[in-house]
Structure 1
Amino acid sequence: MQAKNMVSIIIVNYNKYELTERCIESVVDNLIDIEYEIIVLDNCSTNDSYNELKSNYIENENIKVINSEVNTGFGDGNNKAVDSAKYENVLLLNPDVIVLENSIQDMIKRLYEDKAIGIIGCKLLNDDMTLQYSCRRYLPINEFLLARTPLKKFLKADYIKGINEKYLMKDYDHIEDREVDWIMGSCLLLRKEDFINVGGFSKEYFMYFEDVDLSYKIHKSGKKVLYFPKVEMIHSHEQQSVKKINKLTFIHLSSMIKFYKKYRK
């Protein structure tokens, strides 16, 4: 079978085995004429995720469940799983994604139509099937800090709206293919070779901005980051770090500072 008909699907789980199982079932139900493996890395969950997943899929030779004894972060969890991937194409999926009919096949086909594509991401939909703005622009650090954290509550609504519309690319119809700055890491397809060549997800990010950084590195390598809205998947996105100030907010801010300091954008 040709490489374009093969894919390694990577899912990093942390305490959400039920969502991960839903994601896996959606993959299995909608993959036709594709040779595949699903690699689930349990990132040192504090509940019984690993045992639940291991026991549920122990008899499925296409699904491998790996236990990480240390949680070194979402990005590095993906790196570990990609290292063991046996196919040329790698699809990075969040556990809270539902794969729809022909979506993976169509993404792989589009990837092979243009060797210059480094990352391809599909259109993500909210649970109510409305558009989720998952392709985005880089912002100056001051605009990101003010508009994409709970600090926005202290600023004029019109000012925040303008920044967010630019950031979320609301001036784009999300219908035609488009090269973009970066794509949210909930669903990313790329060649394993390209992922390895740019160093995978950068390990300095425990959570957040690893997808921004990966897209930036792909651009620097001379390849495209392509938003491909013909393909749709559902993403149950929580945005816990943006809605209110909590521990995740500070992790988000820390990752943001690391990114802007690293690239001085």
Structure 2
Amino acid sequence: MADARIRVVVVTWFPGHHLPELVESVRSSSAGPVPVTVVDNGSTDGTVEWVREHEGPLLQLVETGDNLGYGGGANVGVARAGEEWVVVANSDLTLDEGALDEVLAAAERWPRAGVLGPRILTTEGRLYPSARELPSLGRGVGHALLGWVWPRNPWTASYRRERGEPREERAGWLSGACMVLRRDAFEAVGGFDTSYFMYFEDTDLCERLGKAGYDVVYVPSAVVRHHGGASTSRDLVGMSKAHHDSAYLYLSRHYPGPAWLPVRVALKVGLWARYQLSRRVTRVLHGAEPTRD
């Protein structure tokens, strides 16, 4: 097998039937070889057995022995990669034909790129806002309060960069559902911050890469399809809590010290109230009971 330039790292936790579809799609995403490393965080749904059955030069398994979270699992996979580029991807994705070659071509146009992200579409073909502005207090409050009831409000639209046609450009941060990382840059900033068990680890990483002088680049000519919810649907309320906890962790770190204590308190109270609302909505819509609080 010729030396690969790029490797896909997939973090799995009860991925269901999606993982084989992703692995199959990787084969047509590049003209060159693209090995896949599956980092499993403790699945007992047959995932480990399936990977073992199909292991070979282009498919390897790493078992963490525990649920390290998304960023923690990704760090384990990237640490074992020797390729120049590493794709960190959700298990419920499929890559369009030539998608990774499109990203590698864009990397040649952006020699300072530390991370690039493709256009992410839902299974219905709708654009998922995968290139966003970094959250600020103003955008965050407006989006959190109005995003559900008024999706087109100016704060959400600004944060999600939904105006205009997608074009190749710098972004504040890219969705962790599919990130193409320059391995040297990833290692230079210390990888994902494992303080974030789920959510906002991608935001935090992109911000640190930007501060270190690397470009964060959106590449809409590369397309992936996101089925969504393969793992998070097992615990909708728990995932909502993780999202709100991570949002507080990310935002509060930007307002340290005694002078900003009132802001941190307001953030904590506001995000707690939003989580309680989301919990009730989840129970009504899905009949879900909290499994982690």
Relative to the length of structure 2, the TM-score reads 0.79
Q: Residue 91 of structure 1 is aligned with which of 65, 87, 94?
A: 87
1:215 and 2:206 equivalent? Answer: yes
| Alpha-carbon distance in 1 for matches of 2:185, 2:49 | 33
**1:179 CA drift (Å):** 0.7
Provide the residue aligned with 2:250 in structure 1: 259
Change (3 A) 1:100 1:226: same
Code of the aligned partner of 2:163: D
Provide the residue aligned with 2:49 in structure 1: 51
Provide the residue aligned with 2:278 in structure 1: none
Change (3 A) 1:88 1:245: closer
Contact in 1 for aligned 2:15/2:230 (Cα 8 Å):
no
1:128 and 2:124 equivalent? Answer: yes
| Alpha-carbon distance in 2 for matches of 1:131, 1:61 | 34
Provide the residue aligned with 1:42 in structure 2: 40
Change (3 A) 1:197 1:180: same
Code of the aligned partner of 2:135: L
Change (3 A) 1:240 1:6: closer
SS in 1 for 2:164: coil
Q: How does 1:118-157 map to 2 (within 5 A)?
A: 118-141=114-137, 143-144=139-140, 147-148=143-144, 157=149
Q: Which has the higher contact order (CA 8 A, sep 6+)?
A: 1
| Alpha-carbon distance in 1 for matches of 2:236, 2:138 | 18
Say how many residue pairs are matched: 254
Q: How does 1:1-265 map to 2 (within 5 A)?
A: 6-32=5-31, 34-55=32-53, 57-58=54-55, 60-141=56-137, 143-144=139-140, 147-148=143-144, 157-158=149-150, 161-174=153-166, 176-238=167-229, 246-264=237-255
**1:46 CA drift (Å):** 3.7
Code of the aligned partner of 2:9: I
Contact in 1 for aligned 2:16/2:45 (Cα 8 Å):
no
Q: Percent identity?
A: 22
Deviation digits for residues 37-67 of structure 1 (CA, Å, limit 9, x no counterpart): 2111111114332122222x13x32110111
SS in 2 for 1:246: helix
| Alpha-carbon distance in 2 for matches of 1:16, 1:185 | 16
Code of the aligned partner of 1:121: G
Unaligned runs of 5+ residues in structure 1 are: none
Deviation digits for residues 109-133 of structure 1 (CA, Å, limit 9, x no counterpart): 2112322111111111111112111
Contact in 2 for aligned 1:240/1:248 (Cα 8 Å):
no
**1:193 CA drift (Å):** 0.5
Change (3 A) 1:167 1:19: same
Deviation digits for residues 204-235 of structure 1 (CA, Å, limit 9, x no counterpart): 00000000001001101011101111111111
**1:262 CA drift (Å):** 2.3
Relative to the length of structure 1, the TM-score reads 0.87
SS in 2 for 1:122: strand
Larger radius of gyration, structure 1 or 2? 2
